[in-house]
A and B are shown apart, each in its own frame.
Chain A
Amino acid sequence: MSASIQSISLSGRKKQVSNKEMTFWESLYLIAIVKGLLITIKHFFRKKATIHYPEQTREFSPVYRGQHMLKRDELGRENCTACGLCALSCPAEAITMKAEERKPGEEHLYREEKYASIYEINMLRCIFCGLCEEACPKDAIYLTISKELVPANYDREDFIFGKDKLVMPLEMAMKNAQLKNAN
């Protein structure tokens, strides 16, 4: 019933190779070369796989971990309360922050009574593992929503991203709120 293992070809492309002496014409390699040339010229006219990066970006999967984003809630207030759990969970020690108390009249800016006045991530240290996202109790830090790659740069200092680069833009928060209300 069962066929011999030698005769099975799972891919359907099994080919018996031989080690016979080449004939004179084969040893000139001409026919093989012409065949090869035809294969390569087909590739010449084929559609290119390149994505012209800065102008075009590739599609990211929903769970792609890119540049971090500090989230705002529907009212545009920052979620982060500077508890430091992200920094604690970070295996690369890329995160640092400084906490401050919310003053009266700043309720529209920060959701919690305590907020991060300085929040910095060193993008050269970060390994984009997403443990900060998992540790966050306030739903504040996300790697999956920015859909951005950390851009290249010339100086090491420029890779320390502060709140100016990390906090979600206000318009985005407003748009999210509208979408939520519409639903």
Chain B
Amino acid sequence: MDSAFIIEKSVLIVVVFAITMVMAMYSTWAERKVAAFLQDRVGPNRAGWGGLLQPLADGMKLFAKEEFEPDTKNRFLFFVGPAIAMSTALMTSAVIPWGDKLHIFGRDVVLQATDIDGSLLYIFAIVSIGVYGIMIGGWASNNKFSLMGAVRAASQMVSYEVAMGLSVIALIMMTGTLSLKEISIQQSGMNWNVFYQPVGFLIFLICAFAETNRTPFDLAECESELIGGYHTEYSSMKMGFYLFAEYANMFISSTILAVLYFGGYNYPGMQWMVDNVGVNTANILGIGVLFIKICFFIFFYMWVRWTIPRFRYDQLMNLGWKILIPLSIINIVITGICILAFK
């Protein structure tokens, strides 16, 4: 292991961290803007051009707010909750392949913090830990509403993880690998997985909504019933961490959707670009294409949020257990038959 490798990876990690933070920050701005536009309003437009400084102002406000703590016996857990939510949200970005490779200073820099074989399993593991942040926070708040929100979040995420895992199994049967890098490479050209796995993609998409606690599945924090859900008792930057973690999760799940089903950094004619224009230009374009795909999915999350009302809890469980899980099992069977028949 040479020092250049360590420097390369450190720079990459810092850049990925910074991009995740900035994307999460500007997701809050985009959410308000998209919400406004879908409701025939203009949204924040006072702080900076088009309200672009609004996230900074919001962040500063959260820092300056009074730090209120409920009289709880579990003070340690009360602090640990947002920390877990935030760190798990940021940890998933480690295995995402942001691009193929860049050629800098005579070295091939792989644009991925770490390429582990089971990166898909790693993501599922981290996302599952994420629910502990919500659960612990809701429990330690010593408040009925928070606890209800936490219970809802936990049972919802556990139910939808099953369907999500089953929908991904069909994908893994096709690709034969758990490495996101490999999956990206296999989708070069217009060979995107969404064309082979439309039903799997749909199930994964719905489950991603549930996993990120977004509308129509935001039962964990529905204002009309539970005040703020699990973060009712939180204030100041601890509350900011929860909100921020939600947006970071949204960014990461958009990235995973883009990488798994929409070809990741691949775009039509990428091989031609590599041969004729140069590796660096082609791959920087690839990063740009990946971010366009991610931004589309982030927009889609918001678009859906301002379209569909919240599910009732029994509807949510019915959809998860009685429709999505059978559908994904059927999808696995059909995928298996197709692989046997055509390969």
**Residues of A at under 8 Å CB distance from B?**
27-28, 30, 33, 36-37, 39-41, 43-44, 46-50, 52
Contacts and interface: CB of A to CB of B under 8 A. Distances in A.
B308 interface: yes
A43 B303 CA distance: 11
11 contacts: A27-B323, A28-B323, A40-B38, A40-B303, A41-B303, A43-B40, A44-B34, A48-B40, A48-B42, A49-B40, A50-B42
B41 interface: yes
Interface residues of B, number: 16
A55 B155 CA distance: 50
Interface in B45-103: 45
Contacts of A33: 304, 307-308
Contacts of B42: 48, 50, 52
Contacts of B34: 44
B303 A37 contact: yes
Contacts of B224: none
A50 B37 CA distance: 11
Given A33-B308, A36-B308, A37-B304, A44 B38 contact: yes
Given A27-B323, A36-B308, A48 B303 contact: no
B276 interface: no
Contacts of A27: 323
* Residue among B34, B42, B307, B319 with max Cβ neighbours from chain A (10 Å): B307
Contacts of B319: 28
A44 B302 CA distance: 12
B307 to A, nearest CB: 5
Contacts of A40: 38, 303, 306-307
A43 B37 contact: yes
A33 B215 CA distance: 13
Interface string B196-216: 000000100000000000000
A40 B39 CA distance: 8
B90 to A, nearest CB: 30
Contacts of B39: 43
A177 B61 CA distance: 53
Contacts of A39: 307
Contacts of A43: 37-40
Nearest to A41: B303
B41 to A, nearest CB: 6
Interface string B305-316: 011100000000
